[in-house]
Structure 1
Amino acid sequence: MDRQLSLSVGQAFVAPERRHHRSSMSLRVPEAGLLEAKGALAVISDSSSRNAIAKQAGDLSVRGLVADYFSTPDHWGVKYSAIRVLRSLNAWCYAQSQHVKDGSYVSALSAMVYQGREAHLFHMGDTLVFLLRGAEFEQLSRDHITDLGGYRYASRALGMDPSIEIDYLQVPLKQGDIFLFTTQAVRGTLMPSDYVRLIRADVSDLDAACERLAQAASERAQERGYGGDQFCFQLVRVDALPEATEDRPGKVYGDLPVPPELSPGDRLDGLEVEAVLSRTAQSRVYRVRDLASQRQMVLKAPSPELSSRNAYLEHFLLQQWVVERVKSPFVARVVEPSRPRRHLYYLMALVNGETLTEWARRHPQASLSQRLDIARQLGKAVQALHHRDLLHQRIHPDNILIDSHGQVVLADFSACRLREGDGHRHSRELARQVGLTEHSAPEYALDTDVGRRSDQYALASTIYWLLTGGLPYALAPHQLRTHTDLEKLSYRSARTANPEVDAALDDALRRALDPQRALRYRRLSEFLVTLREPRRDGDDGDDGGPLGEPARFWQGVAGILLLLLVLSWLLR
């Protein structure tokens, strides 16, 4: 039987009260299959002592990384997977910190993935990682510290900025290597010789070694007058390594080839193609049937001619992970294959329905109420993406499906991308590579910053089209060439094309479709509130509405009580 990677761990924690700790650590060694594909993960995080929610910040960063890293597709490499997860986690922590008054979700973090005969270190902030190999004791991490007003705090930490720079180091492993994870609080207490002596005193019991380190550090801190009440130590020892092999998993794109061009009747990995749903320059979409379960699904794969265009393949791998992270009935759902994949693709649940374009063509007499219901469902789909810090960037009637029950499902994530810093330059470039539409916001054509309000524009433009059958501007925004062209965009009132649209809804559409991104709604929820059904002229809200009967009932009760009060006053 082939040898597998084997690790041992020891931990010790020193804090006055457990609930007040600001550090967190963990080691996860998964089952054999996942261990080979993803490796084992050791992580430590530490938040500032001045952070009111330091415990939550430290715990959340560790739990979030461990959960999301092992949820990435098996054919993603270690570096690609970890960096994707850390960037997503960083964006989420930064966004959540904006809503916290007395604290933040900022924490230093060091994570090491042990896969095969190599270790991969990912580091942010000032947590410490050391390697003890024989008698040599070496620090692997770098201290990112800023000194401000005599107070030293971690810089380049997780959640500190919208974008994050992550230190990466690859380390060849040797049997017997011991890795120490600790926090900046230990600085000024133990010397390298202390670490070596205390760990080597009895390497068979790593928990006892961590306890010795914690006790020695606490005693040294008290002797020198330090605040030595927050120490944590984690030791990871490499007990066994797998046999050396040339065929290691974990390349950036895996070893999976791009599927060839497929036609109805062709078979791939136990799936039979029933129909070709879409062929574009970037991808192929097929309706397929699992030959074992007879289940129908949608298969999406890169175009065969893109097999050498790694930049797009990198994003294609991200698409599946993006959709898996969003749990919403209004967003297309990824399906796990029933057998190992031998080609690069992913599967989605089949929606038995039609595109919004087809629906509008078949229902020209649909009521305003029906159209607004579709608009509200579509808004919830976009909200679900934004809650996970994702930009869709391609909201368009052809990418919206409606099933037989009227359920709206947002699909096509070819331009979907995690929010990032630098004005989302890479997101804008991806959207332009995939192709702009008449519903794309003007900023995509003008090379200016894009963001959530760009999705808001595309959503509002699609809703405008749904309500009126036309576009809000005579000149399509994706055809703009200079910023002066923005002045040519004159909003065409939706009420002109559809008198059923009331003034309030028309004004809301006008604002969400403002050519200047900064002048649109600050939050998407503000726009979605306006998508309620308009009241009829002269309607006071009681007649015929769901609250009309109860309102008349209580008005009658109030009248009777008033009459009884008057009678009792007259009969005194």
Structure 2
Amino acid sequence: MKQPVSTAHLQLNHASICIEGGKEGNEDAVGVHIPDDAHVLTYKGAILAIADGVSSAEAGQEASETAVRMFLRDFSSTPDTWSVAHSASQVLSTINLRLFRHSHVFKNEMKGQLCTFSAVVIKSHTAHFFHVGDSRVYHWRSGFMRQLTTDHTAQLNQERRFLARALGMDGQLQLDHGKQEVCVGDRFLLTTDGIHDFVSEAQLQEAIGSSGSLPEICEQLKDMALQQGSDDNISAVLAEVVSLPNTDIDDFHDHLTQLPFPPAFKAGMKVDGLEIIQELFASSRSHLYLVRDIDSGQRAVMKTPSTNFEDDSSYIERFIREEWIGSRVDSPYVVKIIRQSRPRSFLYYLMEYVDGVSMEKWLEYNFPVKPGRAIRLIEQVVAGIQAFHDCEAVHQDLKPGNIIISTDPVSQKETIKIVDFGSVYVAGVAEIFIPIDHSSVLGTASYSDPQYLTGRNSGIQGDVYALATICYEMFTGKLPYGEAIEECKTPSDYDRLRYISARKHNPAIPVWFDRALEKGVSFDLNRRYRSLNSLIRDLKHPNPEFLRDEVKQSSRSSSLLFWQLLSGFWFITLLLVIYLFVLNQH
């Protein structure tokens, strides 16, 4: 066995091929990610990935490309304190549910997003492989090759077999995971069935061990597959370990996950190359500090956990997840997580510093807000929250206090940033759902979906409710169900509440606009909007349905007035007849 070359970091050579081959259209996808950042390479590792869209599905190509792209992007963004297996399972569960929903839930979008998927993550001295479907991973060392993965197929007869597992096939992912010790000179080969169904293991072993360059070997595999009758897409990823780090970073994993909680910082204190400038916020659950990078001068916000939860493992895990969730959401309207290049002495993470005020404070100084100005800000909030939804995540705690508004000093243009990832729910990682706690999240009950507050998860519709509530407040200065909603604890408490027409507080609001707000904050999920875009569309443009309702109501009112007037006329006539009759009697 070769001894590791002593270097500071992992080094790989790699090559890949991904072509149509003997099939019209290419439904395969391949990818390699070797981080340039030494810190990320050390703590997350290098990634090789391959996927094969299921040919019987309508959108196999989209599925394979999505799976590879999202895995390469999201895996490296997981917290340093997560193990490789935990990071991969969380990311792949999210990808799987995304594909599944596109296949089975979204009626008017692409269907049949299914693909096989195999990946190798080489971190320190260990290769971790993850697999679902019938793409394969091979390991070669010193002339001997071994298939690490097992095909998830069922054989019907000699000619026919079918795929038993794939990404997007089921809401719950069944993922294979294994590990392989790594030595310098080891090679890893990932293939789709366009190669390994037509090239024998003996031929693969001979090709991988040849003296040619890695790109030449990939070309050789392609040629052999075509010559031996391959009628499918041809894809492969080949990597060789050039050198290994001189220490095994996995030995420090327990240390990382047990980082101590930081003490209460004071202005002027320094930690991990950061200087504390001032405390921005403090609560029983967390603290925010404005800090400055001593080397670059860059300002950032440091979020630290509260020492009240030092012994709460669930709280620690959720705090660590916040950093990962924030790093996945990419939008100009969502605060960005800053990836650190230095090891941390304490448990905390960094976010970009936004110079502005919360929407809560902004409304105090700018109410009443002109309609055009309010809608422009609401549209930015929609774009920011949609970025969460695109990552299969729901914010769950959207409120004016979690929206920062900054104003450009020159153009006076106002821009919002959504902050706080503490309550975010990520689809596919069900344990992240955290029902809002009245006692610990002061004021949240005014904006959070009552479904959350009673322990149910309404998904995207929960963010719709919060957005409609914020919009209602921007136009009226009030809440759609009044202050009484703060006191609600049980479903029966909410049943007693009634929507207060926005026109009662602001008569200038059109009826159709008020109807859209009422639909957005409906407690009944069957009546509430199912998407943010549906809500914002009806807020910007009169919904004909609401206009028809207004005409019907107006018609009913006119009809009622007619009959009231007619009844009054006949009543007066009757009195007159009686009066004349009495006069004639006398």
TM range (shorter): 0.7 to 0.9
Aligned to 2:545: none
In structure 1, distance between residues paired with 2:12 and 2:460: 44
CA contact (8 A) 1:445 1:479 kept: no
In structure 1, distance between residues paired with 2:60 and 2:188: 25
Deviation at 1:515, TM superposition (A): 0.7
In structure 1, distance between residues paired with 2:19 and 2:379: 52
CA contact (8 A) 1:130 1:141 kept: yes
Q: Identify which range, 453-462 or 78-87, moves more after superposition.
A: 78-87
In structure 2, distance between residues paired with 1:44 and 1:433: 47
1:2 aligned to 2, 6, 18, which one?
Answer: 6
Aligned to 1:38: 44
In structure 2, distance between residues paired with 1:267 and 1:439: 38
Number of residue pairs matched by the alignment? 526
Shift of the 433–213 alpha-carbon distance from structure 1 to 2, 3 Å rule, reads farther
1:401 aligned to 401, 404, 411, which one?
Answer: 404
What SS does the aligned partner of 1:342 have? coil
1:471 and 2:474 are equivalent in the alignment: no
Aligned to 2:380: 377
CA contact (8 A) 2:140 2:208 kept: no
In structure 2, distance between residues paired with 1:67 and 1:177: 25
Deviation at 1:129, TM superposition (A): 1.6
In structure 1, distance between residues paired with 2:249 and 2:515: 64
Aligned to 1:496: 504
Aligned to 2:307: 304
Aligned to 1:22: 27
Shift of the 19–266 alpha-carbon distance from structure 1 to 2, 3 Å rule, reads farther
Deviation at 1:46, TM superposition (A): 0.9
CA contact (8 A) 2:17 2:218 kept: yes
In structure 2, distance between residues paired with 1:387 and 1:445: 24
Shift of the 247–79 alpha-carbon distance from structure 1 to 2, 3 Å rule, reads closer
Deviation at 1:82, TM superposition (A): 3.0
Deviation at 1:195, TM superposition (A): 4.1
CA contact (8 A) 1:44 1:110 kept: yes
What is the TM-score with the length of structure 1 in the denominator? 0.78
Question: Aligned AA for 2:167?
Answer: L
In structure 2, distance between residues paired with 1:278 and 1:51: 51
In the TM superposition, 1:252-263 aligns within 5 A as 253=256, 256-263=259-266
1:511 and 2:519 are equivalent in the alignment: yes
1:360 and 2:355 are equivalent in the alignment: no
Q: Identify unmatched segments of 5+ residues in structure 2.
A: 543-586
1:64 and 2:70 are equivalent in the alignment: yes
1:439 aligned to 444, 447, 452, which one?
Answer: 447
Aligned to 1:481: 490
Question: Aligned AA for 2:30?
Answer: M
In structure 1, distance between residues paired with 2:142 and 2:397: 55
Aligned to 1:112: 120
1:140 and 2:148 are equivalent in the alignment: yes
1:458 aligned to 466, 471, 482, which one?
Answer: 466
Deviation at 1:468, TM superposition (A): 3.0
In structure 1, distance between residues paired with 2:156 and 2:529: 37
Aligned to 1:566: none
Q: Identify unmatched segments of 5+ residues in structure 1.
A: 535-572
CA contact (8 A) 1:440 1:458 kept: yes
Aligned to 2:559: none
1:321 aligned to 315, 320, 324, which one?
Answer: 324
- 1:355-400 superposed Cα distances (whole Å, 9 cap, x missing partner): 2222333345545555444434333332332233321111122222
What SS does the aligned partner of 1:26 have? strand
CA contact (8 A) 1:38 1:250 kept: no
Shift of the 429–164 alpha-carbon distance from structure 1 to 2, 3 Å rule, reads farther
- 1:264-320 superposed Cα distances (whole Å, 9 cap, x missing partner): 343333433333222233321122344455554322122233344333333323323
Deviation at 1:128, TM superposition (A): 1.4
What SS does the aligned partner of 1:476 have? helix
Aligned to 1:547: none
Aligned to 2:239: 236
- 1:54-88 superposed Cα distances (whole Å, 9 cap, x missing partner): 44443443233323434445555433433343344
Shift of the 13–289 alpha-carbon distance from structure 1 to 2, 3 Å rule, reads closer
CA contact (8 A) 1:12 1:232 kept: yes
In structure 2, distance between residues paired with 1:245 and 1:101: 46
- 1:468-491 superposed Cα distances (whole Å, 9 cap, x missing partner): 333323552883424x55532321
Q: Identify which range, 446-455 or 153-162, moves more after superposition.
A: 153-162
Aligned to 1:544: none
CA contact (8 A) 1:76 1:251 kept: no
- 1:404-451 superposed Cα distances (whole Å, 9 cap, x missing partner): 444332222211232337xx5642448789745232112113333320
Deviation at 1:453, TM superposition (A): 0.4
Shift of the 35–146 alpha-carbon distance from structure 1 to 2, 3 Å rule, reads same
CA contact (8 A) 1:467 1:498 kept: yes
Q: Identify which range, 19-28 or 147-156, moves more after superposition.
A: 147-156
CA contact (8 A) 1:126 1:155 kept: no
In the TM superposition, 1:196-345 aligns within 5 A as 196-197=205-206, 199-200=208-209, 202=210, 205-207=213-215, 209-210=217-218, 213-218=221-226, 222=229, 228-243=231-246, 245=248, 248=251, 253=256, 256-292=259-295, 294-336=297-339, 341-345=344-348
CA contact (8 A) 1:21 1:54 kept: no
In structure 2, distance between residues paired with 1:380 and 1:213: 46
- 1:483-510 superposed Cα distances (whole Å, 9 cap, x missing partner): x555323212222222232211111111
1:50 aligned to 46, 49, 56, which one?
Answer: 56
What SS does the aligned partner of 1:260 have? coil
Shift of the 17–448 alpha-carbon distance from structure 1 to 2, 3 Å rule, reads same
Deviation at 1:528, TM superposition (A): 1.0
Deviation at 1:215, TM superposition (A): 4.9
1:154 and 2:163 are equivalent in the alignment: yes
In structure 1, distance between residues paired with 2:312 and 2:323: 18
Q: Identify which range, 28-37 or 296-305, moves more after superposition.
A: 28-37
Question: Aligned AA for 1:313?
Answer: I
What SS does the aligned partner of 2:539 have? coil
CA contact (8 A) 1:505 1:530 kept: yes
Q: Identify which range, 509-518 or 50-59, moves more after superposition.
A: 50-59
Question: Aligned AA for 2:498?
Answer: S
CA contact (8 A) 2:132 2:166 kept: yes
Q: Identify which range, 400-409 or 335-344, moves more after superposition.
A: 335-344
In structure 1, distance between residues paired with 2:370 and 2:80: 47
1:386 and 2:394 are equivalent in the alignment: no
Aligned to 1:556: none
1:179 and 2:188 are equivalent in the alignment: yes
What SS does the aligned partner of 1:527 have? helix
In structure 2, distance between residues paired with 1:85 and 1:243: 29
Question: Aligned AA for 2:188?
Answer: F
In the TM superposition, 1:64-83 aligns within 5 A as 64-72=70-78, 74=80, 76-83=82-89
In structure 2, distance between residues paired with 1:497 and 1:349: 38
In structure 2, distance between residues paired with 1:164 and 1:123: 11
What SS does the aligned partner of 2:446 have? coil
In terms of Rg, which structure is larger? 2
In structure 2, distance between residues paired with 1:18 and 1:252: 50
Aligned to 1:167: 176
What SS does the aligned partner of 2:70 have? helix
The percent identity for this pair of structures is 29
Deviation at 1:248, TM superposition (A): 4.3
Deviation at 1:263, TM superposition (A): 3.0
CA contact (8 A) 1:445 1:477 kept: no
In structure 1, distance between residues paired with 2:211 and 2:344: 42
Deviation at 1:10, TM superposition (A): 5.3
In structure 2, distance between residues paired with 1:217 and 1:370: 62
What is the TM-score with the length of structure 2 in the denominator? 0.77
Shift of the 115–48 alpha-carbon distance from structure 1 to 2, 3 Å rule, reads same
Question: Aligned AA for 1:38?
Answer: K
Question: Aligned AA for 1:2?
Answer: S
